[in-house]
Structure 1
Amino acid sequence: MWKPDRQSKEPIYVQIADHLERRISYGEFPPGSLLPSERKLSEQLSVNRSTVILAFAELRSMGIIESRTGSGTRVSKTIWGATPKHTPNWSRYAEGGSFLPNLPFMRRIREALTQQPSLIDFASGELSADLAPIDEITMLMSEHKYTSYLGYDNPQGYIPLRQALVSYLAKYRGIQTTESSILITSGSQQSLYLITQCLLSPGDAVAIEDPSYCYSLPMFQSAGLRLFRLPVDRHGVRPEDVRSLYKKHRIKMVFMNPNFQNPTGTVFEAERRKQLLDVASELGLPIVEDDPFSLTAYEGEPPSPIKSMDSIGSVLYIGSFSKIAASGLRIGWMVAPRTIVERLADARQQMDFGLSVIPQQVAAQFLKSSYFEPHLDRLRMQLKFKQDLLIESLRRELPDHVQFTVPQGGLHLWCKLVPEVHDGKLLEEAIRRGVVFVPGSVYGSDSGYVRFTYARAKADEIGPGIAKFAEALRELIGESNGPR
């Protein structure tokens, strides 16, 4: 983000005025559009509000902007000449379309992280750089010659990567499949998008867990789907609830995240998995299994996917490298019946003509390399270390105000606050103090829950980050004393 040059001889207010004038001339702020408020702009640029007031006055004197009490400051409609021009109403276009924007809390979190890179990040669901296999991938790229062909690849995905995934899924996930039943995607989210857009129709009813990461994805509402919730207890969802929703609403599909569920960390009980497959078989109901966290299990064997128990083909299985290797590779996959893979590959080809072949080659080499298993061992150890730091910090800072169950894998800790506080006020107070998290209501829960993700923050940031969160919480509940 642009900032004024404090070493320049040109006054800061003039720099700001020039910067805004350029953005207006480039069409970023069309005639009639609303500019950021003086307060917001001063926060973004780290300057006094009086400096922004001077910059606005400079632009007003040139007829570039207009200010009205109660209506804010707008770009002049007669800018660059006396005759109004017929500029498209970009605000109306931005508010139109069928694809909905992210939830307000998620947009606010992204905005805060962009504007304040120093924020301690307990919100982002991705691995920090020290957890990613950067050195291993660098070595692989130096050891192997990658393709000299840079044209479009197979829309279903790079064949050697699909072949490597056949072995990976059999060895690590107990899933028997073939390369023709695998579709490579740019991560789990694209898999979900293709399913909601191509296999379901507006008005269809689907079941999701409650709380659920799916609830935070506007793509379901954008597709016109009706969402019905399956409450998650300490053993996961209850299969009979699926049957009840089918009878009441004729649900067309069930979306599940059974292993170290996001956000609760719950592992779906084995007996319930069998019961769910029986219900799905009886009703002819597809299950979409999103399984990004299983290989992060801290001790013992990772929990098996539902797909490994699926003998009749009820489950569409989704996986990704994002939570076990590197989100920047943008490699995910779906295991599905051949007809579904072909349908979704055709749709994806219409969207982007397929993924870049080079990341797919890197992923294929990494899966087959001697680096993969040691990386997983190191990842589990470091995630467990960060989780321990987080739990220790919460127990030290907020012994009476936070309740949680410690998950045995994954990246998240789901916490209930005692007493409940307003989600939005807590988030803003935390951002003000230098830390960011995800309010529980983003995932469909009642107010009073938060999700802390400990994979993104550095180990030495976790204690200070929780201390800042504790300060924000105590401010809202009216406590002045620190932890006991």
Structure 2
Amino acid sequence: MSDGSSTEVLVAMLRREIAGRAPGERLPSSRDLIARHGVGPVTVSRAIAQLAAEGAVVTRPGSGTFVAVRRARPDDRAADTSWQTVALAGRPHVPDTDPTGGAGPGDASGQGGDAADAVGALPDGTISLAGGYLHENLQPTRALGAALARAARRPDAWRRAPAVGLAPLRAVLARQAGPGVSPEDVLVTGGGQGALSMLFRAISAAGSPVLVESPTYPGALAAARAAGLRPVPVPADEDGIRPDLLADAFAMTGARLLYCQPTFHNPTGAVLAPERRRQVVDVARAAGAFVVEDDFARHLGHGRPVPAPLVADDRDGTIVHVTSLTKPASPSLRIGAVVARGPVMGRLRGMRTVDDFFVARPLQEAAVELLSTPSWDRHLRTLAAALRERCGVLADALARELPEWTPARLPVGGLHLWQRLPDRVADGAVADAARVRGVAVNAGRRYFPAEPPAAHLRLSFAAAADPAELVEAARRLAAAVAG
């Protein structure tokens, strides 16, 4: 071995030698190792340091290097965590949503829905119609890289950011929310999910009811339950939540909070009808309640005009608006915002100083760079065309391959088709069979806060690599249904 030989090679040799020696036995000196293996003193020093860090050897200055006592590995004894059952008694229990991408039975994205995108966990060759993010080839990767590079070159890029967020970013997000919103009404958050968690804890006391559309986003249900709240379903149809039933729900439960998605609802894709938008706000105001408007999909339209957010016409703080850049850009652009007025904003600012102090400045700077360049508008136009095409391709493929299924209503925005299944067909069974056939889908039961009225699948047309994969996915899904 020459002086240029890697430290890893010498480490491997010494491991074999250590395995044949007794604990406490002295290893050859550095001089002997240099002569025996033909390496330099730096290589020997690095190898011994690595073995010492691993706990394989013990070095004693002036005496030499010795084989360490072999201790039992931590996994040699079964861990006993039963004591935690007692310690956690009384705390709200939220089923594990595995935001890192684990999958629950019958649902390739886990209970958290979009919050648990399992693309990385799928077997090779599986086509994903699951999860809630854009495929990488739909993300503005080049623009994101350029924005982050420009942000990193700023002299103040690594200074502490203000707790409420950078002023330029708050100004951009305020403009997007509507002319009546000022930058002072905006609090920058680490994505939309973090914003929901803060809001549920800030607005309602543990044990309180929170009204939600049925179906709705499972990540919101998980956040509400983690805050100790009790989700109460309010039926929705193809025009959004029903104001008549909403008024009844407020009266029956005494709730002071409604969570809803008026624009490109997840999972149905519905847009709250114009006449209902005012009714929902009036009903909530009459009940003395807040409306959390989750506007996650504003930039996911398919080319048609998008209604203004509810918060744009709000003057008395009834609407608390949530937005995010993760859906139209990248799941790793963890930038979101809350628009709120009055004492609730004071609560949120106080929680920020307890939870995480502030959102990382380089990420905020990158968001400013991204939103302030023409490339962002070009990306949104390209994305709208791609989503419209993919939506049509998947719908047509399903109609050909599964003609007995009722066609899903084509959304005018968002990332999903909400497919009702025929009677006596179980969504979990279909999802499990589809995964065996190499296609991942979301079982619809996870999107209902109570018993689902019918079986559904949520099918993403944005998670696959290209339209051709959507056609193949429909073929595999039909094969899974046929058994």
TM-score using structure 1 length: 0.75
CA distance in 2, matches of 1:279, 1:306: 14
Alpha carbons of 1:196 and 1:151: their partners in 2 closer, same or farther (altered >3 Å)?
same
- Which structure 2 residues correspond to residues 51-62 of structure 1 after superposition, within 5 A? none
User: Does the aligned pair in 2 maintain the 1:215–1:443 contact within 8 Å?
Assistant: no
Q: Which residue of structure 2 lines up, in the alignment, with residue 381 of structure 1?
A: 385
2:171 to 146, 163, 168: 163
1:176 to 177, 180, 199: 180
Runs of 4+ in 1 over 6 A off after TM superposition: 93-96
1:411 Cα shift?
0.7
Paired AA for residue 366 in structure 1:
L
- 2:104 is the alignment partner of 1:107: yes
CA distance in 1, matches of 2:412, 2:167: 34
Q: Which residue of structure 1 lines up, in the alignment, with residue 128 of structure 2?
A: 121
CA distance in 2, matches of 1:310, 1:331: 24
1:326 to 326, 330, 333: 330
CA distance in 2, matches of 1:393, 1:159: 47
Alpha carbons of 1:396 and 1:184: their partners in 2 closer, same or farther (altered >3 Å)?
same
1:270 to 261, 269, 274: 274
CA distance in 2, matches of 1:215, 1:136: 28
CA distance in 2, matches of 1:324, 1:414: 20
Alpha carbons of 1:203 and 1:474: their partners in 2 closer, same or farther (altered >3 Å)?
same
1:207 Cα shift?
0.8
1:422 to 423, 426, 431: 426
- SS of the aligned residue for 1:183 comes to strand
- Which structure 2 residues correspond to residues 285-434 of structure 1 after superposition, within 5 A? 285-434=289-438
- Which structure 2 residues correspond to residues 203-282 of structure 1 after superposition, within 5 A? 203-214=207-218, 217-282=221-286
Q: Structure 1, residues 193-247: CA drift from partner, whole Å, max 9, x if none?
A: 0011222111211110011114763222222212211111121122122221121
Paired AA for residue 125 in structure 2:
S
Aligned residues: 393
Q: Structure 1, residues 299-323: CA drift from partner, whole Å, max 9, x if none?
A: 3311222112223321001111122
- SS of the aligned residue for 2:137 comes to helix
CA distance in 2, matches of 1:95, 1:417: 39
1:110 Cα shift?
4.5
1:467 Cα shift?
1.2
1:341 Cα shift?
2.4
Q: Which residue of structure 2 lines up, in the alignment, with residue 456 of structure 1?
A: 463
1:152 Cα shift?
3.3
CA distance in 1, matches of 2:240, 2:302: 19
User: Does the aligned pair in 1 maintain the 2:128–2:440 contact within 8 Å?
Assistant: yes
CA distance in 1, matches of 2:269, 2:155: 40
Paired AA for residue 135 in structure 2:
S
User: Does the aligned pair in 1 maintain the 2:291–2:319 contact within 8 Å?
Assistant: yes
User: Does the aligned pair in 1 maintain the 2:427–2:445 contact within 8 Å?
Assistant: yes
CA distance in 2, matches of 1:470, 1:212: 26
- 2:138 is the alignment partner of 1:131: yes
- SS of the aligned residue for 1:329 comes to coil
Q: Structure 1, residues 336-383: CA drift from partner, whole Å, max 9, x if none?
A: 015322321221232222211111101111112121211110010111
2:161 to 147, 153, 162: 153
Paired AA for residue 472 in structure 2:
P
Paired AA for residue 102 in structure 1:
D
User: Does the aligned pair in 2 maintain the 1:119–1:436 contact within 8 Å?
Assistant: yes
CA distance in 1, matches of 2:302, 2:269: 12
CA distance in 1, matches of 2:220, 2:482: 27
- SS of the aligned residue for 2:267 comes to coil
- SS of the aligned residue for 1:153 comes to coil
1:288 Cα shift?
0.6
CA distance in 1, matches of 2:417, 2:346: 38
Q: Which is greater in Rg?
A: 2
- SS of the aligned residue for 1:308 comes to helix
User: Does the aligned pair in 1 maintain the 2:303–2:385 contact within 8 Å?
Assistant: no
User: Does the aligned pair in 2 maintain the 1:181–1:336 contact within 8 Å?
Assistant: yes
CA distance in 2, matches of 1:138, 1:280: 43
- SS of the aligned residue for 1:391 comes to helix
CA distance in 2, matches of 1:117, 1:94: 41
Q: Which residue of structure 2 lines up, in the alignment, with residue 16 of structure 1?
A: none
1:129 Cα shift?
1.1
1:450 Cα shift?
0.5
CA distance in 2, matches of 1:352, 1:339: 20
Q: Which runs of 5+ in 1 are unaligned?
A: 1-63, 66-74, 80-85, 476-484
Alpha carbons of 1:455 and 1:246: their partners in 2 closer, same or farther (altered >3 Å)?
same
Q: Between the two proteins, what is the percent identity of the paired residues? A: 28
